[in-house]
Structures are given as structure tokens and as C-alpha cells.
Structure 1
Amino acid sequence: MALKRMDNIGIVVEDLSGAIDFFRELGLELEGRATIEGKWAGRVTGLGDQHVEIAMMRTPDGHSRLELSRFIRPTVVADHRNAPVNALGYLRAMFTVDDIASTLERLRACGAQLVGDLVRYEDSYLLCYIRGPEGLLIGLAQELG
């Protein structure tokens, strides 16, 4: 049996509406919002009886999704938002944009902060990391040539 696709990456946030606004500004489209609750859901996650608000964001090409979740129950037990780039575990999502300078300008207006520098990798990419809503680490890439 072969892998078919990656469905989504999940990110837990405190402010779901703020995260939706930020990722919309980046260029993702809101596919839908829902509330997930009950023991059936907790059987999947191992959290027992849970209540979560989710928003599914889709890239413009329709191939990738970002699932934003705000847990109402149970309460959040760990916070990795300010982990450095070399921390173990899930780190960041990387997005390719057509104009990294204008994207940075738009996202800075939404509170994003550049982590290091905007750098050129050979003749292939312009790259940077930013801290977005709630300190989330996000990579941006612009293909060159």
C-alpha cells in the first residue's frame, strides 16, 4: 500500500479568529470552521472527552491544508510556541510566496516579526523565518529565476 497524500498540519492556538486572520493575510483560504466534541474524538487523540473549535485553511492551489485548533476541553498542557529553531519535535510550516518582501510587509502589519535575516540561498530561493500569531514559527520562501 502506498502513501496517497498529506492531508494537513495541525497547530493549536489560543486565539482562533486571530490565527485565521493572519493565515488569510498570508494567502490561505478558510475552508470551514467546526466544533469537534465528545468521547469519539477523544478516542482518536487519546484525550478522552474533548471540546475543540477548529478551522481548516487551504492553500490557493488546493493541495495543502492547515488545521487550526482551539481546545476548550481539556486545557492545554504544554506550550512550544517560543521554542528555538533547533528544538526537538514539530517546528514550523514553510510557505512559498511569489514576493517575499511584500508578504513580509503585510504580515508585519499583523504583528509578525522576522526571526533572523532574509537570506538568499544560491540562485534558488530567498528565505526567512518569522514569528506569527502567538509566536508560531513560520518559514517563507520565494523561488528565484
Structure 2
Amino acid sequence: MAIQRMDNVGIVVDDLDAAVAFFTELGMELEGRMPIEGSWAGKVVGLDDMRSEIAMMRIPGAPGRLELAKYHSPEAGAPNPGVTPVNTLGLHRVMFAVDDLADTLARLRPHGAELVGEVTRYEDSFLLCYLRGPSGIILGLAEQLS
């Protein structure tokens, strides 16, 4: 018995439209949006009276998807997610390889992206950075140099 594939990474957001716009600007495509509710859904995630909406984002021509979820009931909550440090237990980060890190940052900044640290060069191999997006989501970006 073996794992067949990683299907997607789920991220809970407080503004689904803003998150979709952010990841679209990054270069992902909206695969679909739909409500998720009912007793079956609540049983899967362990929440009573669960009602949410998801947006599935995909990388064009490549494997990898993000499931962005907005919980309407019960409402999702996190104390001040925008200032949670990157080494917090259980915190997730998604890393994307990009062809032009400076251009990607310039396109994402109008959508609320802020650097966590700074753009750093790793030897002659990569430019790397972490940034915060909508709902405090932390992304890593890497541009291969050689």
C-alpha cells in the first residue's frame, strides 16, 4: 500500500475573494468554487452545523492545488494571524518556485503581500523570501538562479 499523490493543501481564509485574487495574481488558476455544507461535511471535519465555501486553485500545466476555504458556520477564528511568527508550532507555509521573484513580489504587493524578512540570495543557486498574504498566510518564493 502506497500513497498515490498529494491531492491539495487546505488553507482557511477570512476573505475568499481576496485570497482567490492573490493566488490568481501569483499565477494559479481557479479550478472551481462551491459551497460545502450538510451533515456529511460536518462529520468529516468534526464541526456541528458546518457551512463553508471553497475555491480550488491549480497550477497551470503542473500538479499541485490549493483548497481555499471560508467558514461561515461556525466562524473561523485565529488571534491576530498577521503577526504569528514563522516558527509557531503547526503553522503551515506553502513554497512556490517562480521565474522572477522581483516581478512576483511587485504583482502581489497590491494584493496585500508583505515580506516577513527580506529577499535573500542562497549561494549562486536561489533568491528566496517569505511573505504574508491574505489572512496571514505565509508563502515562500524561490527563484532558481543557475
Name the TM tier (shorter chain). over 0.9
Structure 1 runs, 4 residues or longer, greater than 2 Å off: 77-82
Letter of the structure 1 residue corresponding to residue 59 of structure 2: T
User: Where do 1:63-142 residues align within 5 Å?
Assistant: 63-79=63-79, 81=81, 82-142=83-143
Aligned length in residues = 145
Q: CA deviation at 1:63?
A: 0.4
Tell me the TM-score normalised to structure 2 length: 0.93
Equivalent residue for 1:49? Answer: 49
Q: How far apart are the structure 2 equivalents of 1:61 and 1:88?
A: 33
Q: CA deviation at 1:95?
A: 0.7
SS in 1 for 2:21: helix
Q: How far apart are the structure 2 equivalents of 1:31 and 1:123?
A: 36
Identity %: 59
Tell me the TM-score normalised to structure 1 length: 0.94
Describe the superposition over 1:87-113 as per-residue Cα deviations: whole angstroms up to 9, x where unpaired: 100321111100001001111122211
User: More deviation in 94-103 or 130-139?
Assistant: 130-139
Q: How far apart are the structure 2 equivalents of 1:86 and 1:39?
A: 35
Stretches of structure 1 that go unaligned for 5 or more consecutive residues are none
| C-alpha contact (below 8 Å) 2:18/2:111 kept by paired residues | no
User: More deviation in 106-115 or 80-89?
Assistant: 80-89
SS in 2 for 1:109: helix
SS in 1 for 2:111: coil
Q: Does residue 34 of structure 1 match 2:34? A: yes
| C-alpha contact (below 8 Å) 1:41/1:49 kept by paired residues | no
Letter of the structure 1 residue corresponding to residue 114 of structure 2: Q
Q: How far apart are the structure 2 equivalents of 1:80 and 1:41?
A: 27
| C-alpha contact (below 8 Å) 1:52/1:72 kept by paired residues | yes
User: More deviation in 7-16 or 75-84?
Assistant: 75-84
Describe the superposition over 1:25-78 as per-residue Cα deviations: whole angstroms up to 9, x where unpaired: 000100000001011011111112211000000012330000000001112143
Q: How well do the aligned residues superpose, as a CA RMSD in angstroms?
A: 1.3
